[in-house]
Structure 1
Amino acid sequence: MLANTSQMLLRNISDLTGNILIVEPPADELARSLLPELPAPTKLSCYTSNAATAQSWQIPDITCYFSALPEFQQQFDTVVIYYPKSKEQLSLTLAAIAPALTDSSQIFLVGDNKGGIKSLSSHAEKLGLQAHKLDNAKHCLWYCLNGSLAALTKPRFSQQQFTINHTTLNVCSIAGVFNHGKLDTGTALLLNHLQHITKGSVLDFGCGSGVIGAFLKKNNSAINLYCSDVSALATEATKQTLQANNLQGTVITADGLPAKPACFDHIVSNPPFHTGIKTDYSISETFISQSKDRLNPGGSLTLVANTHLAYQTLLEQTFGKVTVLAKANGFVIYQTIKR
């Protein structure tokens, strides 16, 4: 299947010439659809920080750059950027690709109308750039972007300090990581209900900037900590968070639960529930199903979710008994034990 944004890109394929770079596309079938439509000697590359997207672009004759921040070994004539959820991330992305562009390179942006791209013109002006709308279809917009990227700030990770339940943590993050620069309300509530985790192998799934894992490790040095996320930006942030607090842990970039170790004593998560801007229960269903298979007997799964999401039903269908540990500020903490 193709996301609407990818269908919009294919609708404007005549704009793509020369050496082409696609930036942060969704994990759909775009690579297989786009490559046969490009005339020789066009070359196609992709940059993504998402493990699922990287897998979909592992195709012969395509170069896929998969990392937190890109380091290109070539220059591009045409760049297509999928408009990110974070406006700050757009400026960082532009700065990251700038070294790989020439004075004649063309930059296009594509985005869903509900994803914020309607404000691109005013956002571009603040960056000293000009955005021109070229097409409007499939509830998406197609823009070209003009101007110099030289003044944009090179992307880097920043550090903030939070005190959580008398535990002080230095947390590293960057635009594009969940709740960048803040401690979200759901995670703060979750951290109040993890007293049962004192030892054993522990997975912080969807680790983001690593707050949950770092908090657990700092308070319980005996645990064997693993942190995973589909985003290379997030796992790099987590690595830096652990290092900033002199903590040890294994950090893995993976689509779904990491392949190793085989089983965990505890899994903790503020799990993602979006694909792009849409609520996607398939992510939660897969995560919960995999969690039961990957927990040792007597092991626990503890997660936080928005109260409007049907997580309790999903957990009951998989595990049976589910305990609600807390409800506050629109969030709920669920815990279940593998029998």
Structure 2
Amino acid sequence: MLATASQLVLRNIDDLTGNVLLVEPLADNLATELQHLAPQLTLSCYSTDAAVAASWSQDTVTLYRDVSPVFSDSFDTVVLFYPKSKEQLAFTLAQLKPVLSATTAVFVTGDNKGGIKSLSSHAQKLGLSANKLDNAKHCLWFALHGDFQQLPQAKAVSFDITAAGETLTLHSLPGVFNHGKLDIGTALLLDNLPDIGKGKVLDFASGCGVVGAMLKRKHPAIELFCSDISQLAVKATELTLAANGLNGTVIAADGLPAQPKQFDCIVSNPPFHTGIKTDYSIVESFIRDSSARLSSNGSLTLVANSHLAYLELLQQAFKKVSIVAKANGFTVYRAS
């Protein structure tokens, strides 16, 4: 099964030549299709998403997963999938500067609902130009031109917050959830964290690491683990923990990390989107898997938009579920 943006890549396959780098593509079968339809191409993939990286992990594809990758080759063609976060486009292009030469053909594809319609004006602000080449399947295909070397090197944003009686320094990167600010839901969660003095504690979907950092600050004896599907979030969490002098293990994982096998407490502001689409299967799997991975006296604490039907999902997986707090359209649940 191919996402529509990936189908548009195949529709314009004649634009691809030589060494081809696919940047932040989707978790589908595009790699297999490209190998079948254009075996003469040499494929590489750069993705900071653990699920995407898994789908592109093939013997015939060179995979780059680090936030700041060290590329082993130059590329004739680069295909960039338009990110949900506009700030991430400039960040990603800056990471690609070592392999963007004057002869590299750069294309951008994306779903109309994902904001790619504004690429021309977005590119202009970056000192680049974007020419629309194709429009099909509610997606667009652009050629991107300009001096990519003039793009400033993107850096993490640092900012301080005060919540739950503590002050923390947070670091964030473009593409991380609520980049550069504390969202309302997480703020409510920080004021209603579980009181856990020891044990293995997981901050799931850690984002910039604010929840994990607050848990470790308030309960220094816990063994902290933080996980996120995004390498960008993993890096931001590592920077946040270091900035506050806190220790924790940070893991890139699609779903709950494989290790440790059991947790005493899981805390999360879980995602309910895959890309731009609402995807409840993520949180359904998270709740079900959390129930199986918690110790006998363990608990799950999560925050969610109040209109989402999380109470029923929690009650299906846990014996005891309570509403800890409600404010500003968000609800904090605790299940054990």
**Shorter-normalised TM range:** over 0.9
Q: How does 1:221-300 map to 2 (within 5 A)?
A: 221-300=220-299
Q: C-alpha offsets along residues 68-113 of structure 1, whole Å, 9 cap, x if unaligned?
A: 2222111111000000011111011111111112211111101111
**In the alignment, what sits opposite 1:129?**
128
Distance 1:102 1:69 in 2: 18
**In the alignment, what sits opposite 2:170?**
171
**Preserved CA contact (<8 Å) 1:205 1:268:** yes
Matched, 1:120 2:122: no
**Preserved CA contact (<8 Å) 2:20 2:75:** yes
Distance 1:167 1:198 in 2: 17
The one-letter code of the counterpart of 2:308 is: L
RMSD over aligned Cα atoms: 1.0
Q: CA deviation at 1:166?
A: 2.2
Q: CA deviation at 1:198?
A: 2.6
Larger deviation, residues 14-23 vs 190-199: 190-199
Secondary structure (helix, strand or coil) at the match of 2:271 reads coil
Distance 1:122 1:36 in 2: 36
Matched, 1:216 2:215: yes
Q: C-alpha offsets along residues 15-52 of structure 1, whole Å, 9 cap, x if unaligned?
A: 11111000001111111111121142x21000000111
**In the alignment, what sits opposite 2:13?**
13
Q: CA deviation at 1:196?
A: 2.2
Distance 2:183 2:255 in 1: 22
The one-letter code of the counterpart of 1:56 is: S
Distance 1:20 1:318 in 2: 45
**In the alignment, what sits opposite 1:25?**
25
The one-letter code of the counterpart of 2:272 is: F
Q: How does 1:27-106 map to 2 (within 5 A)?
A: 27-40=27-40, 42-106=41-105
Q: C-alpha offsets along residues 210-252 of structure 1, whole Å, 9 cap, x if unaligned?
A: 0000001011111110000111110111111111111011111
**Preserved CA contact (<8 Å) 1:49 1:69:** no
Identity of aligned residues (%): 59
Query: What stretches of structure 2 of length at least 5 have no aligned partner?
Result: none
The one-letter code of the counterpart of 1:220 is: H
Distance 2:53 2:69 in 1: 13
The one-letter code of the counterpart of 1:44 is: L
Give TM-score scaled by structure 1 length.
0.97
**Preserved CA contact (<8 Å) 2:177 2:208:** yes
Larger deviation, residues 282-291 vs 314-323: 314-323
Larger deviation, residues 15-24 vs 154-163: 154-163
**Preserved CA contact (<8 Å) 2:176 2:208:** yes
Distance 1:139 1:188 in 2: 36
Query: What stretches of structure 1 of length at least 5 have no aligned partner?
Result: none
Q: CA deviation at 1:156?
A: 2.0
How many aligned positions are there? 336
Larger deviation, residues 313-322 vs 6-15: 313-322
Give TM-score scaled by structure 2 length.
0.98
Distance 1:279 1:199 in 2: 35
Larger deviation, residues 323-332 vs 195-204: 195-204
**Preserved CA contact (<8 Å) 2:194 2:301:** no
Secondary structure (helix, strand or coil) at the match of 1:187 reads helix
Secondary structure (helix, strand or coil) at the match of 2:103 reads strand
Distance 1:226 1:98 in 2: 33
Distance 2:294 2:231 in 1: 25
Q: CA deviation at 1:318?
A: 1.3
